Amino acid sequence: MDLQGLKYLVVGSGFFGAVIAERIANDLGERVLVVDKRSHVGGNSYSEVDPESGVEYHKYGSHIFHTKNQLVWEYCNRFCTFNNYRHKVLTNYMGRIYQMPINLSTINGFYGTSLNPDQSRQFIAEEISRETFAAPANLEEKAVSQIGRPLYNAFIKGYTAKQWETDPRLLPADIINRLPVRFDYNADYFNDPWQGIPTDGYGALFRMLLKHPRIEIQLNTDFSEIRSHIPTDCLIIYSGQIDQFFNYQHGILGWRTLRLENDVVQTGDFQGTSVMNYSDESVPFTRIHEFRHYHKERIYPRDKTFICREYSKTWHQGDEAYYPINTNADNVVYNRYVAAAARYKNIIFGGRLGSYSYMDMDQVIGHALRTYEDSIKKS
């Protein structure tokens, strides 16, 4: 690959890299090279059609687009249309199905009651008052102080223990904020005004974002392979792991990873919904995704469906990094990398791996658009 004269290099073709590359090509009118170590563009948001079932599946777990940010929504709509999917989540606890987040249907179903909104508020307040914690010392105490012990035991305890492979009593209280409890029958998972799934899938959206004669894409290429050939005046937009970039010299940042077990099942509908959580600790996976439900507008086979069982795992170097753990120790290490990064005037770190923070897709797109305007266009 000839990097002679290259002025812009984007490392990583997830939303952060793809949006910046699109802006450089379309708005700045400059040539840009995008490299990705994977065999496809799109990062963790990527989707493709499974050849056996014909179902479009999200390769790195369910991705639902939702945003309050009008600028981001309008930007995305230049490259794709969205269907009218509205996300709802169910939880299987001890073989019975409940709505998530906890709402009036969950409360009445779980307690075998038929409370109205006012009665259910009163009822949950009484449940909470059975145990008081002046200052919750761990995740369990915080959750119990918000929803009471019975709902915590059913819906939070086992799920959290599986997600973190740790007893919730040993997890810090600040892992959770406010546990949402709704005293009505609203089952929508997100409240954002704009929601949906790209009608042609995320893979197609990324192909549209990156479709420009000034954008060159080099897949199956790790940054380390080309690092020594990059011209010194080239601006690098780096959305890989920041600690890896510095060869882990200040320490290794902690992540959680996932094991995703895909399966084609010989039925037209496996679970009747896109995501079913399993909150019992005795069930080893945390949830099952069934991707056909993301595209009601498509005609899918009636005798096959594509599902994915999701298991949460401790991350080790070499695994896919999914969720930053962000312990205090991690944040100390991250700040050392931020200081080291500040010394590189020709490199911009960003995206979830480059800034060691969990961000939804719309937040990453907003972050990329701002980075382009403030740090690339003006430079």
Ligand X SMILES: Cc1cc2nc3c(=O)[nH]c(=O)nc-3n(C[C@H](O)[C@H](O)[C@H](O)COP(=O)(O)OP(=O)(O)OC[C@H]3O[C@@H](n4cnc5c(N)ncnc54)[C@H](O)[C@@H]3O)c2cc1C
Q: Among all residues, which ones are annotated catalytic?
A: 178, 182, 256, 287, 310, 358, 360
CA 313 to chain centre: 16
Q: C-alpha distances in angstroms, 156 versus 88, 148, 302?
A: 17, 11, 35
Q: C-alpha distances in angstroms, 93 versus 12, 155, 226, 287?
A: 39, 7, 50, 12
Residues 334-353 within binding reach of ligand X (CB under 6 A): 351-353
62 binds ligand X (CB under 6 A): yes
**Exactly one of 156, 209, 235, 361 binds ligand X (CB under 6 A); which one?**
361
Residue 93 pairs in a beta bridge with: 96
100 binds ligand X (CB under 6 A): no
Q: Among residues 19 and 124, whose Cβ is nearest to ligand X?
A: 19
CB 320, min distance to ligand X, A: 8
Contact flags string 163-192 toward ligand X, x per CB under 6 A: ------------------------------
Residues 299-338 within binding reach of ligand X (CB under 6 A): 322-323
CB 270, min distance to ligand X, A: 20
**Exactly one of 7, 26, 30, 37 binds ligand X (CB under 6 A); which one?**
37
Q: Among residues 26 and 69, whose Cβ is nearest to ligand X?
A: 69
Rg of the chain over all Cα atoms, to the nearest angstrom: 23
Residues 191-250 within binding reach of ligand X (CB under 6 A): 222-223, 239-240
**Exactly one of 9, 20, 24, 45 binds ligand X (CB under 6 A); which one?**
45
Q: Among residues 53 and 274, whose Cβ is nearest to ligand X?
A: 274
CA 369 to chain centre: 19
CB 65, min distance to ligand X, A: 6
d(CA 90, CA 84): 19
16 binds ligand X (CB under 6 A): yes
Buried b / exposed e across 73-94, counting CB within 10 Å, b at 16+?
A: bebbeebbebbebebbbbbbbe
CB 114, min distance to ligand X, A: 33
Give the total of residues touching ligand X (CB under 6 A).
35
145 binds ligand X (CB under 6 A): no
Residues 113-142 within binding reach of ligand X (CB under 6 A): none
106 binds ligand X (CB under 6 A): no
d(CA 13, CA 34): 7
DSSP per-residue codes, 280-347: -TTSSSSEEEEGGGG-TTS---SS-EEEEEEEEEE--TTSPP-EE---HHHHHHHHHHHHHHHT-TTE
d(CA 248, CA 250): 6
In this structure, what token pair is assigned to residue 177?
């904020």
Sign of the dihedral through C-alpha 181, 61, 211, 204: negative
359 binds ligand X (CB under 6 A): yes
> Of 36-44, 155-163, 175-183, 207-215, which part binds ligand X (CB under 6 A)?
36-44
> Of 24-32, 34-42, 119-127, 132-140, which part binds ligand X (CB under 6 A)?
34-42
CB 156, min distance to ligand X, A: 19
364 binds ligand X (CB under 6 A): yes
Q: Length of the chain, please?
A: 379
Residues 251-290 within binding reach of ligand X (CB under 6 A): 258
Helix H or strand E segment including 89: strand 89-93
Q: Note the residues at the interface with ligand X (CB under 6 A).
A: 11-17, 35-38, 43-45, 60-65, 222-223, 239-240, 258, 322-323, 351-353, 359-362, 364
